[in-house]
Amino acid sequence: MVKELKVWQIIKSIIKKIPFNIQHSTFNIILFAIVLSGCGYKPMTEYTKKVFTDKVYVDVDVYLRDPENAVLVKDALNEAVISRFNAKLTSKKSATTQLKVKFERVSFSPIQYDSNGYAIFYRAKVTLNISYIVNGKKGFEKVVGYYDFPIEPNAVISDAKRFEAIRFGAEKAIDSFVSLMSMRGAVL
């Protein structure tokens, strides 16, 4: 990190000494493009392909306290499979990767109070258990997603706010799962 910083300082000092004209700005653009192309960046889908196969089956257990959220979680997971894993959704028979999601826990806790002591901000914590089978190998991850939301002072959390908080918390938990899988793929 220190060596990279020194290299950049040297490059900056050289560029500052050169009088500015159109040729030098072109040189800077080309130099910048070369530096960026050599950084080794790969999109997340390149890493997740090492963990998951192309054909994925998704199953979500219904959470009895909020059965409508199972549909939202399944949709979010399907979207993640298609966009972030770059895979296709298939039936259970033809899938080489199976994902099973189960709500472990959903909780709400106040995180901010007004001057009268009433809760005005809550945090939803959604814990998902995601088990997966890839080519016969089993794995399990417990992921947590948080979502903070305001409410009116001296009010209870409405069903609409609760529903929205669980949905966004579950989406963040799925994002955590995708990140974990891409990190595993980077190590492989």
Q: What is the pLDDT of residues 35-69, one digit of tens each?
A: 666 666 677 777 777 777 788 888 888 777 777 77
List pLDDT tens digits, range 125-171: 999 999 998 878 898 999 999 999 998 887 888 888 888 898 889 88
Give percent of the chain with pLDDT exceeding 90.
17
Task: State the DSSP code for 84.
Answer: T
Tell me which H or E stretch contains 162: helix 159-187
CA pair distance 103, 76, nearest whole angstrom: 14
Cβ neighbour number for residue 111 with a 10 Å cutoff: 13
pTM: 0.71
Angle 68-83/159-187 helices, nearest 10 degrees? 30
Q: To the nearest 10°, the Cα dihedral for 18, 19, 21, 23?
A: -30
User: Nearest Cα to 103, choosing from 72, 134, 79?
Assistant: 72
- Please state the rounded mean pLDDT for residues 82-88: 80
Q: Would you state the torsion angle of the CA atoms of residues 176, 178, 183, 185, taken in this order, to the nearest 10 degrees?
A: 160
